[in-house]
Amino acid sequence: MPKNSKVTQREHSSEHVTESVADLLAHQEPVDYKRSVLNVTGETWDKQKEGDEDLDAERPAWNSKLQYILAQIGYSVGLGNVWRFPYLCQKNGGGAYLVPYLVLLIIIGLPLFFLELAVGQRIRRGSIGVWNYICPRLGGIGYASCLVCFFVGLYYNVIIGWSIFYFFKSFQYPLPWSECPLVKNGSVAVVETECERSSATTYFWYRETLDISNSISESGGLNWKMTLCLLVAWSLVGLAMIKGIQSSGKVMYFSSLFPYLVLVCFLVRGLLLRGAVDGIMHMFTPKLDKMLDPQVWREAATQVFFALGLGFGGVIAFSSYNKQDNNCHFDATLVSFINFFTSVLATLVVFAVLGFKANIMNEKCVVENAEKILGYLNSNVLSHDLIPPHVNFSHLTAKDYNEMYRVIMTVKEGHFKELGLDACLLEDELNKSVQGTGLAFIAFTEAMTHFPASPFWSVMFFLMLINLGLGSMIGTMSGITTPIIDTFKVRKEVFTVGCCIFAFLVGLIFVQRSGNYFVTMFDDYSATLPLTVVVILENIAVAWIYGTKK
């Protein structure tokens, strides 16, 4: 043996022989005892699991932590933050509603959101693979999530289509919904009767945009304008999703950040409008007795549930592309509270604009009723003695009208109803609850017609809605594509394109003339109960089947 070999050196050294053995063993290949005949532990070698581990090494990953956070924010912050949360805030006690919402966000929303982030990140699969891994008998939870995502995606993209239609209609002055259309009656042009009875924005929404039928049973055929807009909407979603997170992640940089820029611009502009403070004060004036109503807490819990996108599978899909050592505690807290502050920001914007609109409508009411009073004075139905001496009809304020209204109501108590006068109270205008499409496509659009440079603000507003909807749709579609691609190993591009085409064809039911009725029906019934069941089963799977100690 060579004199300078390691063994010879050890023989002449005072070190223990065991160190030489350890040194020799350090150069040996590690033995996989699960495959070896030396395996006496009873553990079996699962070739499928080993293949899954190899697949994990090839799994796509987010380019950066910022891209991932923006994707989760884009998914959780959607149209509901703009038109559902402000309505619930107005309905359920103003500022007092923020207390139950924040409490339930911390107690219910944050833990459930963390649960989905954690299982997706740890197991690195979509919703089907995650629940199959924990318990094969509960694999149906993943399929249920995919089905709910499909139902929601069908009608959610129709709303994006409506926003696209309004977006392109905004590139003209004046805005097409700012005035009632004229129709020819012989040689005379008169205002459309139906529009005159409602309003220009309401008429444009129901007759020009939806061309709505009288009931859900009357399909009325396809609305070709909405069909084209739906095709554009699904094309945008398909292009954003076709390369998975490699394409959708880049889209999120714009679709997640642009709505915040628009909301801040609208807030600054809204605060400069006359009456904006009235709207914000109305929103934040707390009605503390509402906090004792169980219905308020139930609606707050439901909003928390849907605001974070729990049960859809989108959260699990996005987190499955993370490294397993990512700090998902921090992610869950950050995204949850950004979602909450976005809802508050959107509510400030909405009530600032609605406060301006309420002042405009109140002034219009005062003018119309003042003309009625002048008519009654000229026809001697009312005495001039009833009008306070300081009242000037050419510059009549809301305060002067209210004083005059109370005097006439007191004197003409027995015949007051016959006069047909309205109280014209600003509070009544602010109390008119508007939510959903009524807020975005009627109330907000009407307010924007009174803005200086109204087409610019209209373009910005509907571009914001398109981006909010697109961010949520990417998350919703990921809740379908990620688990299916993981489970059945289909080609990503082919499945994504096929899914979008199939969804577009099924979604044609929503762009009939009766389509709005189907959108309302799906919005009310397609997700609420199924998602509640899904989240309950998720908790059972993690807490009792997988085990909280693990």
CB contact at 8 A, 77 and 468: yes
CA-CA distance, 529 to 305, in Å (whole number)?
A: 12
Query: Does residue 356 form part of some domain?
Result: yes
CB contact at 8 A, 142 and 126: yes
Report residue 123 as tokens: 């197991």
Report residue 519 as tokens: 């959108």
Q: pLDDT at position 434, please?
A: 65
pLDDT digit string, tens, across residues 272-298 = 888 888 888 888 787 878 888 888 888
Average pLDDT of the residues in 174-199: 83
Query: Does residue 445 form part of some domain?
Result: yes
Q: Which domain holds residue 334?
A: 65-181+219-365+429-545
CA-CA distance, 533 to 141, in Å (whole number)?
A: 9
Range with lowest mean pLDDT among 211-215, 282-286, 370-374: 282-286
User: Residue 412: pLDDT above 60?
Assistant: yes
Query: Does residue 372 form part of some domain?
Result: no
CA-CA distance, 237 to 216, in Å (whole number)?
A: 28
Q: pLDDT at position 283, please?
A: 81
DSSP category for residue 185: E
Please, which pLDDT band fits residue 38 given cuts at 50, 70 and 90? very low
The enclosing H or E element of 188 equals strand 188-191
Query: Does residue 106 form part of some domain?
Result: yes
User: Residue 316: pLDDT above 90?
Assistant: yes
Q: Identity (one letter) of the amino acid at 401?
A: Y
**DSSP characters over 82-127:** HHTHHHHHHHTTGGGGHHHHHHHIIIIIHHHHHHHHHHHHHH-S-H
Angle at the Cα of 539 from the Cα atoms of 537 and 540, rounded to 5 degrees: 65
User: Residue 25: pLDDT above 70?
Assistant: no
CATH number for the domain including 159? Answer: 1.10.4160.10
Range with lowest mean pLDDT among 32-41, 127-136, 311-320, 400-409: 32-41
Please, which pLDDT band fits residue 379 given cuts at 50, 70 and 90? confident
Taking each helix axis as running N to C, give the angle between helix 528-540 and helix 294-307, from 0 to 180 degrees, rounded to the nearest 10: 80
CA distances from 529 to 306, 386, 477, 533 (A): 12, 59, 20, 6
Q: Assign 3-state DSSP to the chain and report helix, strand, coil percentages, each to 5.
A: 70, 0, 25
Which residues are annotated as part of the binding site? 74, 77, 81, 339, 468, 472
Question: What are the φ/ψ torsions at residue 190 (nearest 5 degrees)?
Answer: -125, 160
* Residues in Cβ contact with 415 at an 8 Å cutoff, skipping those fewer than 6 apart: none
* Residues in Cβ contact with 157 at an 8 Å cutoff, skipping those fewer than 6 apart: 230, 233, 234, 237, 469, 473, 503, 507
Q: Identity (one letter) of the amino acid at 143?
A: Y
Query: Does residue 238 form part of some domain?
Result: yes
Q: Among 313, 315, 358, which residue's Cα sits nearest to residue 145?
A: 313
Query: Higher-confidence residue: 450 or 38?
Result: 450
CB contact at 8 A, 167 and 523: no
* Residues in Cβ contact with 410 at an 8 Å cutoff, skipping those fewer than 6 apart: none
Print burial letters for 525-535: b (CB count within 10 Å at least 16), e (below 16): ebbeebbeebb
Q: pLDDT at position 56, please?
A: 56
Query: Higher-confidence residue: 70 or 18?
Result: 70
> In total, how many domains does the chain have?
1
* Residues in Cβ contact with 426 at an 8 Å cutoff, skipping those fewer than 6 apart: 275, 278, 358, 359, 362, 398
Instruction: Please report, to the nearest 10 degrees, the dihedral formed by the alpha carbons of residues 71, 77, 79, 80 taken in order.
Output: 140
Query: Does residue 387 form part of some domain?
Result: no
CB contact at 8 A, 71 and 251: no
Report residue 214 as tokens: 């009288």
Report residue 78 as tokens: 């959607």
**Sign of the Cα pseudo-torsion (86, 88, 92, 97, in order):** negative
Strongest mean pLDDT among 163-167, 250-254, 541-545 = 163-167
User: Residue 466: pLDDT above 80?
Assistant: yes
Average pLDDT of the residues in 110-128: 91
Query: Does residue 231 form part of some domain?
Result: yes
Please, which pLDDT band fits residue 401 given cuts at 50, 70 and 90? confident
DSSP category for residue 45: P
Please, which pLDDT band fits residue 331 given cuts at 50, 70 and 90? very high
Report residue 192 as tokens: 């459309």
Q: State pTM to two decimals.
A: 0.83
Q: Among 339, 310, 360, 282, which residue's Cα sits nearest to residue 95?
A: 282
Q: What's the mean per-residue pLDDT of the chain?
A: 83
Q: pLDDT at position 388, please?
A: 78
CA-CA distance, 59 to 208, in Å (whole number)?
A: 47
CB contact at 8 A, 101 and 300: yes
Query: Does residue 473 form part of some domain?
Result: yes
CA-CA distance, 362 to 354, in Å (whole number)?
A: 12
Beta partners for 512?
A: 222
pLDDT digit string, tens, across residues 477-524 = 999 999 999 889 889 889 999 999 999 999 999 999 999 999 989 888
Which residues are annotated as part of the binding site for Na(+)? 74, 77, 81, 339, 468, 472
CB contact at 8 A, 366 and 404: no
